[in-house]
Structure 1
């Protein structure tokens, strides 16, 4: 019986202690089950008395505020860029601390709760806020904000002055190593960064070594291939475009394995880049466009590349036949249709592309180190497989233009062709290989003809001429109408009146005859 009384008294005392504990003359009451007890904090921020929702909001605001801190990403030569931690995807990695804080001191038996409460009173409980950062956001920041620090290497290269080669030394470059820089930034932010302070991180810069040595460039002196085309019939604008495109390619040095894109070298087609409006092919028609004539540049280079026996990886024929090379020996480039002429230096030595224009001729010569046998020659032969000649002219009446206005486009014969590479040794053919095949559209001679006139008789004559589908007939009719108009202009008003009356009488007579009168 005495033992039972002792147990009951002990339990009552513990309940009393838990409910109302006197410490240093002060009474401390247990917190409600949905709020955080006194003495609990997160990264030093007091969470006492907060509900779980309130505490989560407080810690998130704290993390958002940390996101305003800046980190300097430093490159070479004192260059840097400042980026906020919010841009680097700062986040809160351990949100479970709030639920732990709410339940602290409220779990276990009475003794455990009492002990937890005494610990809070004596030394409190501070939860660390563990931060994390988005590596993809860091990578995006490095890519977009730090690429300006890249200084690409300038390869050693050749120039040709007065027929002689000169060697220009290369320059070392520096490029941001994205993978290593992302890792360095992440490690700093999750390791040594002091919360709330601005920081500094050195970007990892990779050395971009230039290609080329004097010894290998000095070997470049042999002509591997050369080709010339004429643009003697071209006007001033097209001639300028050919010369401009040639100058943009001239002086190129390519190392073994390097790829050359003609389009990327001569673009953009703009007046700022030296081009003018001139005729070019578009959808089987000849139209004026900025850079018209540039395909003669790529075609001439193509033929020089073939003779140097470099590796061609992309080539397209024109939509219609061109006159400055044989069928299937052309190489078109076009921004609108994505056409390019691309080749690779597949030799074991550097090559140099020399391009120049003179007397309305364009020439490309490719220099390198000749390794082909002296008794071996290469030639190219064009073979026409099919030829299709337009049967009739195409005439378009334009009611917005007066009679006398006529715009004529030449006819183009349609072809199917292929190009053969013929190799001879000691003058004897040892191989014949098809290089490419090409299809060229047929296009009839086309004319756009004005038919507008205050004289319905003249308009009627033009429409009748157009119906013949003969541009020559249309031209003759225009000449007749002009002669009639000139003759009419020389007549007096009385003579014109008499002619008009005679025409009216003749018209009336025709109507009477048609009616059977």
Structure 2
């Protein structure tokens, strides 16, 4: 019997023989490859097969194929839904370096060390080796073309809305579209490096508007409305009223949602179109940015009261304004005072506003119900607050003289109630608040200047 050692020696001997034959075979194969002045089989440039061709043949095939495909056929076909845009080679100055690509194809399996070359040859023959087309094009032209395509597709979302024509009508929403331009260009250029002609779908993002037709489905009419008037000759104040009214126009407040006037209208600053107009700051009437916006918040406040919604935050003015009854105003100030209400109904409501002539109208739309409660806003417990008279000594005014510096103004304290009636019977009485508008003191300046006595003249004697 053979020993274990002799068996191992035999196995080793056979392995050496196998390795020797393999090496000889590899060398022979390599020698065979080298003697051929052709591109190795399996090599393609883009989708153009150039295996088995010489450099000159490959160059001619690449150039001819490129010319044939781009002569009458669009290079790029971009598609979005049922729209289609075609781009020709001439549109983007498209060209190809056929000679350079043929050389690159020929170099496959002929560069690097022996192991690397053999590996490239083996993979090319058995699995294929694809070179990118590496075309040249005008970057500015292709970007401009796709920018124009994007502009034709892009669409701002539009909310569903209520249209008042002959009949009540709900206009459906418009879904917004925006082309992902960076992704579109990347897809187009990636394809250009692998195919001479191709079709691809433009990536577009869709944007659903905040108000859709289903949000308005249960709304069938106006459930509350309020009107105030202003001076149309005060152009700055009118501009501020128009801007603020426009912000609340076409606004949906869903059931259970809290509305914030400051959040919706935003800051009343000149960069947003607001002008300086009279407004109270620390109790003094002075020109201020956005003066007059409080008329919009107060008009909305009264419409909300009549719609029987819940008031979450409301502040009275320092002095009562003349455009709403006493105790029915709602002042606002950037980042300080807000007007908020909650939609306590079981259905959504929709707010519209209109400025016409000297009139501001705010409507609240909702679902009309049978036996709609009657809502009344009344003032009670009115109390007049008399001003104080302030006497100020004036050292520059002659003694005994009086000048009324400020006539002063009476103040008032008032309680406001919301009363709900059904079939003529009061079913609820709600105290909305007690407002106190302080009086303005009467100021009188009293002279305190003591007149200077003139010296008496001396008697004189003529000599």
TM-score, normalising length: structure 2:
0.50
Distance 1:279 1:358 in 2: 21
Q: CA deviation at 1:385?
A: 3.7
In structure 1, stretches of 5+ residues that fail to align are 1-152, 175-206, 400-407, 447-464, 470-506
Residue 463 of structure 2 is aligned to residue 512 of structure 1: no
Shift of 1:427: 2.1
Distance 1:232 1:395, change over 3 A: farther
Structure 2 Cα separation of the partners of residues 425 and 161 of structure 1: 29
- How much has 1:212 moved relative to structure 2? 5.7
**What is the rounded CA distance, in whole Å, between the counterparts of 1:155 and 1:380 in structure 2?**
36
What is the match of residue 352 of structure 1?
Answer: 350
Residue equivalent to 2:446: 467
Structure 2, unmatched stretches of 5+, are: 1-155, 179-205, 397-404
Q: 2:376 pairs with 360, 376, 379, which one?
A: 379
Offset at residue 219 of structure 1 (A): 3.2
Question: What's the CA shift for 1:234?
Answer: 6.5
In the alignment, the residues of structure 2 paired with residue 165 and residue 514 of structure 1 have an alpha-carbon distance, to the nearest angstrom, of: 98
C-alpha displacement of 1:420: 0.7
Q: Report whether the alignment pairs 1:245 with 2:249.
A: no
Equivalent-residue separation in structure 2 for 1:393 and 1:162 (angstroms): 60
Task: Say whether the 8 Å CA contact 2:157–2:207 is kept in structure 1.
Answer: no
Which is richer in helix? 1
Aligned-pair CA distance for 1:324: 1.7
Rate the CA distance shift 1:235–1:413 in 2: closer, same or farther, 3 A.
Answer: farther
- The alpha-carbon distance between structure 1 residues 281 and 391, as it changes in their structure 2 partners (threshold 3 A), is same
Q: 1:156 to 1:240 in 2, by over 3 A?
A: closer
Question: Is the 2:253–2:349 Cα contact (8 Å) retained in structure 1?
Answer: yes
* Deviation of the 1:359 alpha carbon: 2.5
Residue 326 (structure 1) shift: 2.0
8 Å CA contact 2:232, 2:357 repeated in 1: no
CA distance in 1, matches of 2:209, 2:260: 20
Q: Which residue of 1 aligns with 2:367?
A: 369
Does residue 430 (structure 1) correspond to residue 373 (structure 2)? The answer is no
Counterpart position of 1:440 = 437
Who is 2:163 aligned against?
160
Shift of 1:160: 3.2
What SS is found at the alignment partner of 1:511? coil
* Alignment match, 1:417: 414
Counterpart Cα distance in 2 of 1:172 and 1:250? 20
Work out whether residues 377 and 423 of structure 1, in 8 Å CA contact, stay in contact via their aligned partners in 2. yes
Residue in structure 1 matched with residue 316 of structure 2 by the alignment: 317
Pair 223,170 (structure 1): closer, same or farther in 2 beyond 3 Å: same
Looking at structure 1, the residues matched to 172 and 459 of structure 2 have their Cα atoms a distance apart, in angstroms, of 97
Any idea what SS the aligned residue of 1:467 has?
A: strand
Deviation at 1:377, TM superposition (A): 1.0
Per-residue CA deviations over 1:237-275 (Å, capped at 9, x if unaligned) read 212211221112111122222222111222221222221
Q: Which residue of structure 2 lines up, in the alignment, with residue 261 of structure 1?
A: 260
CA deviations 1:364-385 (Å, max 9, x no partner) are 11011123624x3110101244
What is the CA distance between 1:171 and its match in structure 2?
A: 4.2
What is the CA–CA distance in structure 2 between the aligned matches of 1:160 and 1:391, rounded to whole Å?
Answer: 55
| Paired positions, count | 269
> Is the Cα contact below 8 Å between 1:167 and 1:217 reproduced in 2?
no
CA pair 244-382 structure 1, distance change in 2 beyond 3 A: same
Q: Distance in 2 between matches of 1:348 and 1:277?
A: 40
| Pairing of 1:63-462 with structure 2 (within 5 A) | 156-160=159-163, 162=165, 164-169=168-173, 171=175, 214-232=213-231, 235-335=234-334, 338-371=336-369, 373-374=371-372, 376-392=373-389, 411-444=408-441
Helix, strand or coil for the counterpart of 1:379?
strand
Instruction: Pick closer, same or farther for the CA change 1:331–1:309 going to 2, 3 Å.
Output: same
Task: Report the Cα distance in structure 2 between the residues aligned to 1:241 and 1:394, rounded to whole angstroms.
Answer: 40
Aligned-residue CA RMSD (Å): 4.0
Q: Secondary structure of 2:360's partner?
A: strand
Q: Distance in 1 between matches of 2:445 and 2:369?
A: 62
Asked if the contact 1:154–1:170 (Cα under 8 Å) also holds between the matched residues in 2, the reply is yes
Mapped partners of 1:302, 1:387: distance in 2 = 25
Question: Cα gap change, 1:314/1:154 in structure 2, threshold over 3 Å: closer, same or farther?
Answer: farther
TM-score between the two structures when normalised by the length of structure 1: 0.45
Q: CA separation of 1:349/1:171 partners in 2, compared to 1, >3 Å: closer, same or farther? A: farther
